[in-house]
């Protein structure tokens, strides 16, 4: 008999990092709509406060924390907000990160490498450490990390730092899943392919043919992945996923990883 729990996220306390734009904003909105209590972070304080006001006006239970997660003080402030407001942390979606344009390996600057690793890998490592400390004491919890399809392969569209950082996120996910498999903590990651966020709007404005020409070289569906589809996977992992689903990376990419 299946042990799928069919749990919702209603009443759970969820942390979303990088929740003021792109995938993070849609995930924050989706989780709030499903009845979760959401603490979300971002470096854009004006945008974060505006989103928070809008969601609370719709009846959501949410709190925005302005924080740079490359700084340990920012992580501490976010975790403290979860605990001081709700007394627990049930789920964390570690999503915050940056992207940079393609650069040849031998021309990639050390300072760009250091910024990318600090933003996309070290910050997630430190967030996971802080989250795990809380969840170990609780005896349960869920961690979901946002990686990328380039965490599985190389690409001409990004830098060595970005590709390495996303490989690293998947590695952190698997290591934590192994070490805390019997602590009541599930740890998984997601790997989105090209996603329709604000940065893609100029291309979308050119029409469906332009989108197909661009994305068709990447995935067989020749379409952007919608952030809502990604939010649905996060929702599944946060709520109804079975206990034995841990240490996995779920690609949301329209078949991109399997296209030769």
3-state secondary structure string across the chain: CCCCCCCCCCCCEEEECCCCCHHHHHHHHHHHHCCCEEEEEECCHHHHHHHHHHHHHCCCEEEEEECCCCCHHHHHHHHHHHHHHHCCCCEEEECCCCCCCCCCHHHCCHHHHHHHHHHHHHHHHHHHHHHHHHHHHHCCEEEEEECCHHHCCCCCCCCHHHHHHHHHHHHHHHHHHHHCCCCCEEEEEEEECCECCHHHHHHHCCCHHHHHHHHCCCCCCCCCECHHHHHHHHHHHHCCCCCCCCCCEEEECCCHHHCC
Residue of 86, 162, 180, 258 marked catalytic: 162
What is the mean predicted confidence (pLDDT) over 153-159? 87
| Cα gap 50→64, rounded to integer Å | 9
Active site residue 86: no
Share of the chain above pLDDT 70, in %: 90
The answer on pLDDT for 125 being more than 90 is: yes
pLDDT tens string 190-213: 999 887 676 566 656 677 666 566
Return the minimum-mean-pLDDT range out of 4-13, 114-123, 136-145, 233-242: 4-13
The answer on pLDDT for 10 being more than 90 is: yes
pLDDT tens string 90-105: 999 999 999 887 889 9
The answer on pLDDT for 237 being more than 90 is: yes
Domains of the chain with CATH codes = 13-197+226-254 (3.40.50.720)
The answer on pLDDT for 6 being more than 50 is: no
């Amino acid at each position: 008999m299946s042990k799928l729990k069919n749990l919702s996220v209603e009443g759970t306390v969820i942390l979303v990092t990088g929740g003021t734009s792109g995938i993070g904003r849609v995930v924050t909105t989706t989780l709030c709509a499903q009845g979760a209590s959401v603490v979300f972070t971002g470096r854009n304080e004006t945008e974060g406060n505006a989103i928070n006001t809008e969601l609370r006006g719709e009846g959501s239970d949410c709190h925005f924390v302005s924080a740079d997660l490359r700084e340990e003080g920012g992580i501490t402030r976010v975790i403290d907000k979860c605990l001081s407001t709700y007394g627990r942390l049930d789920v964390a979606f570690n999503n915050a990160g940056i992207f940079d344009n393609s650069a040849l390996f031998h021309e990639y600057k050390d300072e760009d490498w250091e910024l990318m690793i600090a933003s996309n890998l070290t910050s997630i490592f430190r967030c996971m450490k802080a989250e795990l400390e809380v969840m170990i004491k609780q005896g349960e919890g869920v961690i979901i990390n946002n990686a990328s399809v380039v965490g599985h392969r190389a690409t001409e569209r990004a830098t060595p730092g970005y590709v390495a950082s996303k490989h690293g996120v998947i590695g952190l996910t698997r290591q934590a899943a192994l070490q805390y498999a019997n602590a009541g903590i599930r740890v998984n990651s997601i790997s989105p392919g090209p996603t329709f966020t604000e940065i893609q709007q100029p291309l979308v404005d050119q029409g469906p043919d332009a989108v197909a020409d661009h994305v068709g070289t990447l995935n067989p569906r020749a379409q952007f992945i919608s952030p809502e589809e990604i939010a649905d996977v996060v929702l599944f992992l946060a709520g109804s996923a079975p206990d034995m689903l841990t240490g996995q990376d779920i690609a949301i990419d329209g078949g991109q990883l399997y296209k030769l």
